[in-house]
Structures are given as structure tokens and as C-alpha cells.
Amino acid sequence: MALNILFSASESDWRHYQPHLQSALAEHFIDAKISTLPNDPGAFDFVIWSPASPLQDFAPFTNLKAIFSLWAGVEKVVRNSSIKVPLCRMVDPGLTQGMVEWVCGQVLRHHLGLDRHILQQDGIWRHDNIPPLAKDRKIGILGLGELGGACAQALARLGFQVAGWSNSPKNVPLASSLTGPDGLETILAQSEILVLLLPLTPGTENIINKDSIAKMRRGAFLINAGRGALIDDNVLLKALESGQIAHATLDVFRQEPLPSNHPFWANAKITVTPHMAAETRPESSSHTIAGQIRRWLDGKPLQHTVNWSVGY
């Protein structure tokens, strides 16, 4: 009998996903009907969900096997007590590659001091301040999961000295893995460029605060591709003013879209990008979802399920 799948995201998501999902399901030999409206909730086997979906109450979905998040970050759904089935984070090779490219681009921008030449093309031949090679540059990454781990590896392959900090120790080739409060102090103190790729949980909210910024290496660059609420915004503004932080490149914000009157927009030491560091790619993520359903049909455990106790 055909499986029933509810695709509950934005209309534009549906336009982009529909052809890829249908072909990915066919390639995995899955007979399924996909709906976009939850008219008969008890009939659905799986829900594909994004934060753009109005669906919050999963209690009527009495036959549900699992929910697949289209987003890697699940903070908007992880505390939903009506969910009684596994919730799978999106781990999408397209999203991971996009993040690697964006993070490497931003790191190289600051490592090479490109702004100086891009923003000041004024007839002055500034042949001073030649950047060190990557081997002499220390990069820190807070968050060594799917995305942070892939970025750590790519940066290490470029030759950077890379350290990562995470909840539990990770084995990332060529990068060192730090944990705990001591590990955090070490990475804050040594990183010339600090990249945030942590999930947002009660334990990581405002992890970049007055105390942690004071422990950072003076003049460090901060890159946030995780979640806006990892940073205390007012503390960041003060740290930029004092020179404790040289520049912040921010892709994520407490409120998105970032309101046009927000002080970040006008601050020359902040680069705002519109939550575009990494998008879930419909083609590759449709294969991920179809692969997950195939695993369920074959009696294998689903992958990337949320650990409710840690919140991601």
C-alpha cells in the first residue's frame, strides 16, 4: 500500500522540491502519495517539515512514523511536546558543501585581508601587511558536527591550524578537538578567526557574551553561520567598538529578516549576509529523505535523529 507523506513547508519550497522528491522516491522504489495539506492527519506516515510550516500540533498524526526537518537546525521544533516520533535533522551533502564554501570564503577574506584592497581602491599602492601563510593562522570553530566538522576539515586541508570545540570529543582529521569549559577558554584565547556553527540550545544561547568575548584574542574576527542567539548582540557591538573584535560577519540573527533599522546594518565592522551561508538543496536532500524512508521500509534505524535530551 502506498505511503502517505505530508510536505509541510512554504509554497516555494514545494515548487522546488516536488519534482526532486517524486523522482528520489521512485529511485528508492518507494510507492508514496505526497500531499501539502493535512486534511486527514491520521493517514500520514511521514511529515517533511520546515519552520515555514504553520503545522505545530502533531497530536492528530496518530499513524506517524517520523518527521523529517528540512533544516539542519531544529531549535524551532525540538521543544514541541506534541511530537511522539523520531525527528530527523537534515544532513544534506548540498547544504554541507554550501557551508564549507561560504565559511572558507569568509575565512580567506579575513586571512588575506581582502577588504583593505576591495574597499580602498584609491590610487595608493599598499604593498605592506603581507598576510601569513595559512599554516601560521589559527582558526577556531565552535561546533564540530556535520557542518562544523566539514568546515574544519576543508580549512585544515587549506593548511590552517584548526581547532574545534564541541559537546563531545570529535575525530576530525587534521583538526584538534576540544571540549568542556577549559577547551572553550583555549579556543577563545588562541583563535584569530572564530567561526560559530553550534546548534542553538539553552546551553549555547549567548555563548558569545561579555565573559567569553573578554577571553578572546584581541582583534579576532568572528563569523557566525550558526544561529543569531549564540551571540549577545549588545556585547558584540561594544567589543567591535573597543577593537576587542576586529570584524563580525553574521549570516544569522535573532530576528530574520534583520530589521532595516537594526544597528548591525550601518556598522562598518559588521558584514550582514541574509541567512544564505548554506541552504538545503532540494535535489540532494530529496535523496536524503527518500533514503531515510527506504531505511525505515527495510527495518533499519533512521539516521540523524534528534537526541531530545541534548536538543539537537
Active-site annotation holds for 275: yes
Alpha-carbon distance of 221 to 107, in angstroms, equals 9
Mark 261-290 with x for binding to ligand GLV (rule: CB under 6 A) and - for no binding.
-------------------x----------
72 touches ligand GLV by CB under 6 A: yes
DSSP state of 215: H
| Piece of 4-12, 22-30, 67-75, 131-139 that binds ligand GLV (CB under 6 A) | 67-75
Looking at beta carbons, which residue is closest to ligand GLV?
Answer: 73
Task: Pick the closest to residue 152 from 203, 187, 109 (CA basis).
Answer: 187
Q: The C-alpha cell of 223 is what? A: 563569523
DSSP state of 262: -
Q: Which residues are within 8 A (CB) of 124 and not within 5 positions of it... i.e. 6 or more apart?
A: none
Nearer of residues 90 and 162 to ligand GLV, judged by Cβ: 90
| Piece of 23-31, 70-78, 154-162, 173-181 that binds ligand GLV (CB under 6 A) | 70-78
71 touches ligand GLV by CB under 6 A: yes
What is the Cβ-side half-sphere exposure of residue 237, based on CA atoms within 13 angstroms? 8
73 touches ligand GLV by CB under 6 A: yes
Number of CB atoms found within 10 A of residue 218's CB? 11
Nearer of residues 140 and 199 to ligand GLV, judged by Cβ: 199
Mark 78-107 with x for binding to ligand GLV (rule: CB under 6 A) and - for no binding.
------------x-----------------
User: Strand 245-250's sheet: what is its strand order?
Assistant: 176-178, 161-165, 138-142, 193-196, 220-224, 245-250, 270-272
Alpha-carbon distance of 170 to 158, in angstroms, equals 20
Nearer of residues 90 and 306 to ligand GLV, judged by Cβ: 90
Please tell me which residue in 28, 109, 110, 227 is annotated as part of the active site: 227
Active-site annotation holds for 227: yes
Residues lying near ligand GLV in the complex (CB under 6 A): 71-73, 90, 280
Active site residues: 227, 275
